[in-house]
Amino acid sequence: MMEKVISVENCDLFYGDFQALKDVSLPIYRHKVTALIGPSGCGKSTFLRTLNRMNDLIASCKVKGSIQFNHEETYGNGYDVIELRKKVGMVFQKPNPFPMSIFDNIAFGPRQQGLKDKVKLKEIVEKALKQAALWDEVHDRLNQSALSLSGGQQQRLCIARAIAMEPEVILMDEPTSALDPIATQKIENLIEELKKDYTIVIVTHSMQQAARISDYTAFFYMGELLEFDDTKTLFVSPKLKQTEDYVTGRFG
């Protein structure tokens, strides 16, 4: 039996009166890549944001059900959301490096946790950049602004920034949708590598991408999780007609 890092049970989510997630139950397995697919507006991003409680920022948002991270209720009373976000990192759709140097971007997270030791910070930055396959490209210009990097490099920087916190899970919301094919390729290779050390949940609109890089795939439709299976099964012999239509591209 595979180990679950995150376990979502019967999750309902409301934006005011609008129900964006309906009774979603989904396991996230350790050191696997889980892809979330589904048509636009079906609740993929919403679901992703419940995993590190970024939905907290939306005042109208209410969550019901059980979401456990390492067997602890993350929406439970007294649960430390900061600790959760340290362990469950996030990479956004558009690369969003801070307007600081490359070094400061990656050192940001550890610094906010109170780490001041220069040598330690340097080690962390180097390790994160190497893991994000960016070290060779930027090691000689760590003090330059992160905004001077290309879009693909910026996205890998954002991955490195998340890695620097040594999370267990990295959530990625369409991380390659703003990138060209070559940069996309690099990120996909990177995800392949990162899987050894991290658990990855990725939202994607590209069926090929989901098929290429993920171990498990969850198909969302209008706020419901219609089908969840290992990727091969889901793509080759889906149980539902809707899933088949969607993965074969016959569907909106």
Ligand X SMILES: Nc1ncnc2c1ncn2[C@@H]1O[C@H](COP(=O)(O)OP(=O)(O)OP(=O)(O)O)[C@@H](O)[C@H]1O
Q: Which residues bind other proteins (CB under 8 A)?
A: 52, 54, 57, 82-83, 85-86, 89-90, 92, 94, 96, 98-100, 108-109, 112-113, 144-145, 147-148, 158, 161-162, 165
Give the nearest distance from C-beta 249 to other proteins in angstroms: 30
Q: Is 34 in the site for Mg ion (CB under 5 A)?
A: no
Give the nearest distance from C-beta 123 to ligand X in angstroms: 36
Give the nearest distance from C-beta 23 to Mg ion in angstroms: 20
Beta-carbon contacts of residue 94 (< 8 Å; ≥ 6 apart):
178
Torsion of CA 198, 206, 160, 185, to 10 degrees: 110
Give the nearest distance from C-beta 212 to other proteins in angstroms: 26
Q: Is 45 in the site for Mg ion (CB under 5 A)?
A: yes
Of these partners, other proteins, Mg ion, ligand X, none, which one is at the site of residue 25 (CB under 5 to 8 Å by kind)? none
Between 20 and 63, whose beta carbon lies closer to Mg ion? 20
Degrees to nearest 5, angle at CA 220 with 217 and 221: 150
Give the separation between CA 196 and CA 210, rounded to whole angstroms.
18
For ligand X, which residue of 7, 12, 14, 15 counts as binding (CB under 6 A)?
15
CB atoms within 10 A of CB 46: 21
CA nearest neighbour of 26 among 58, 56, 41, 48: 48
